[in-house]
Amino acid sequence: MTTDLARPLLLEDTPLGPTAGGFYRRQNAYTGLATGVLFAFVGWLISHALLQGSNWGTDMVVTVTMVGWVVGFNLGVGTFNAPLRWMLGHDQTYEDELYAAGVGQGKKRYYKFCTDHKVVGTQYLVLVVILFFIGGTLAMMMRTQLITPHTDFLSANSYNAIVSIHGMCMIIATIIMVTGPFTNFVMPIMIGAKDMAFPRLNAMSFWVVVSAIPPLLATFVLGGVDAGWTTYAPLSVQAPPAMDAFSITMIVFVISVTVSGVNTIVTVLTMRAKGMTLGRLPIFVWASIVGAALSIYAMPALLIAFTSMITDRVVGTSFFVAGQGGTGWLWENAFWIFGHPEVYIILIPPVGAMLEVASTFARKPLFGYKVTIAGFVAISALSIMVWAHHMFTTGWAPELAGPFMVTTEIISIPTGIIFLCLIGTLWKGRIWTRLPMYFVYLFLWNFIIGGVTGIYLSDTPADEFFHGDMFVTAHFHYTLLGGAMIAATAALCYWFPKITGKMLNERIGKTAFWMIAIGIQITYFGMFWEGFEGMPRRVAFYDPIFQHANDMATGGAYLLMLGWIVLLYAGIESLRHGPNAPANPWHSKTLEWKVPTPVPLVNFLVDPVVTSDPYGYGEPEPVGPVVIPAPHPDRELVPNLSSDNPLAKDDG
């Protein structure tokens, strides 16, 4: 083996034996697809033969088929390899681990069950873009239907089905839009770790969520979910078989998010570099663990909600059927016990990421670091006590409307404090206005509108008026799209050079920014207008008096979608023709910018030792987290895997 002395030998250069990886060698996304289809077909065949004639035959067949798909896909892609080998007492060898981490596989590793956190992060990024594309396309179909009061583009049922899948597709995408790509790719490097705590669980969380997407899309050919994204019972109990596939999607998604959340918390608690105390963690890391903790609390509620929904539909239980002793209120409670924390599971990680952007480009330490962390924790704690504000008009426990109104309004206090910390960070800073900062400014504007309109909705009397109309739709789009998605876009523009190794084309990016910024205002002000006039949500046809407001919203939506497409084009163009990114193009202080680009497999060529907080801007160098070489040369060198090395042999 020749050695290039000018460059340290990296782990990824390790030559692996022909048996390294074991079964992983034969597995990838395509084998997953094949086994998934095979298992789904076998499931369909058996269940159709045995169950079709029973009371809930079609629902049973759909459920078994979808479960077959999920199990088959994950078997085929390699998700269950390690647990099965563990159970049989055959641990994976060191070489297997290297293979699973993508050593020697080039770009093929992006199509495989790969344990390298950077590969998983990139896979998540692509998945999120695809989900947003699907959700965005569905949104445009809805807006096209609403061009005139009685457009024949979609039937009422199709429109309702599109509303539901647009909603849940976007919820899934926004939950993973930051925790998937950035918490996976960037966060371990930020804390000085070589990977996530459980790399195989990390890869599992990704491939499991991939297996959840086909059932979601299959709903369109199974009659459509016409119960809205909240799938309120008893409407959802009576919905077509698509509801079974929808429920399977949600159950599988819960597994993915829970596993991912546990992994994130354990990583931060146990894998930090020397000197990376909790008080020195970058704010994005705090946001990630708070979001992860909240997901561990909230996801079980969603799990039981959809599990019991499936049993109601497939075996005839009566949780949500009032005629058999159940109640629709049970669904609403279970759903919203998940549903409101979910808003903050979506919101907190992007806000944390955006605060990193603000500090870097304002060249100032983060204003109110500890207060911001306290704000995240307070929001999380309060978010589990506000769920019934979604049920003010349902008639459930009217005596609790007051307390829930108060807790909901109180939550605006820590939210406002974090907002002030963002402004404080920018205040009197020497702001370097690059593309990520554009999106920070846009977040400030949007989130003010989303937040203030939310206070109206938390107020019981006002909610009685606004509930179920387009005002609510405009509010949560300002919050989730204008707030969370825009913050995530700032994070994407910020970390794009580190993830891809290319600088993002800012000229095209700024064009996209202005289209998105203006598009959001036109679209959602249009929806506010519709709401003030009293137009209800989820209607395919409307009274002509709402025509002008709908014209405005639809026009804005087209501009908005075009803006996202231009931004996507900016990314693709930069990947193909953009200049290579230096290791630290923004002169940032956090650790992810101290490693080379592209990032080596083990992240750090030497063990980092952190000596100060991550926001020491304006102080003379060296400051911030500095990397001091530690004497561990074998960390990045090729381990001796010759035939006389015991590690070269599989003892399994």
Residues 272-301 that bind another protein (CB under 8 A): 296-297, 299-301
* CB-CB contact of 404 with 389 (8 Å): yes
80 binds another protein (CB under 8 A): no
For another protein, give the closer residue by CB, 5 or 88: 88
37 binds another protein (CB under 8 A): no
106 binds another protein (CB under 8 A): no
Side-chain-facing half-sphere of 464: CA atoms under 13 Å = 5
For another protein, give the closer residue by CB, 197 or 487: 197
Rounded to 5°, the CA angle 600-494-138 comes to: 105
Rounded to 5°, the CA angle 377-379-380 comes to: 65
Kindly report whether the peptide bond that precedes residue 234 is cis, defined as omega within 30 degrees of 0: yes
Q: What is the chain's alpha carbon radius of gyration, rounded to the nearest angstrom? A: 25
For another protein, give the closer residue by CB, 363 or 635: 635
Question: Which region among 88-96, 282-290, 372-380, 527-535 touches another protein (by CB under 8 A)?
Answer: 88-96
User: At its nearest, how many Å lie between another protein and the CB of residue 300?
Assistant: 4
3-state secondary structure 106-175: HHHHHHCCCCCHHHHHHHHHHHHHHHHHHHHHHHHHHHHHCCCCCCCCCCHHHHHHHHHHHHHHHHHHHH
User: At its nearest, how many Å lie between another protein and the CB of residue 195?
Assistant: 4
Going by the DSSP 8-state scheme, the letter that residue 229 receives in this structure is T
Question: Which region among 24-32, 131-139, 255-263, 353-361 touches another protein (by CB under 8 A)?
Answer: 255-263
Kindly identify the residues of this chain, within the stretch 228-247, that bind another protein according to CB under 8 A: none
What is the distance of C-alpha 63 from the center of its chain?
A: 25
Kindly identify the residues of this chain, within the stretch 299-318, that bind another protein according to CB under 8 A: 299-301, 303-304, 307-308, 311-312, 315-318
User: At its nearest, how many Å lie between another protein and the CB of residue 101?
Assistant: 5
For another protein, give the closer residue by CB, 171 or 193: 193
Say how many C-beta atoms besides its own lie within 10 A of residue 165's C-beta: 23
Q: Indicate which single residue of 24, 44, 73, 94 sits in contact with another protein (rule: CB under 8 A).
A: 94
Q: Applying CB under 8 A, what is the total number of residues that bind another protein?
A: 73
For another protein, give the closer residue by CB, 316 or 461: 316
Rounded to whole angstroms, the Cα distance separating 473 from 549 reads 14
User: At its nearest, how many Å lie between another protein and the CB of residue 386?
Assistant: 17
For another protein, give the closer residue by CB, 113 or 319: 319
Q: Indicate which single residue of 198, 456, 465, 532 sits in contact with another protein (rule: CB under 8 A).
A: 198
For another protein, give the closer residue by CB, 618 or 652: 652
Max distance between CA atoms of the chain, in angstroms, equals: 83
Kindly identify the residues of this chain, within the stretch 620-649, that bind another protein according to CB under 8 A: 632, 634-635, 639-640, 645-647
For another protein, give the closer residue by CB, 537 or 649: 649
- Nearest CA among 488, 468, 486, 466 for reference residue 478: 486
Q: Indicate which single residue of 8, 9, 11, 506 sits in contact with another protein (rule: CB under 8 A).
A: 11
Termini Cα distance of the chain = 28
User: At its nearest, how many Å lie between another protein and the CB of residue 69?
Assistant: 19
Q: What share of the chain is helix, strand, coil (3-state, %, to 5)?
A: 70, 0, 30
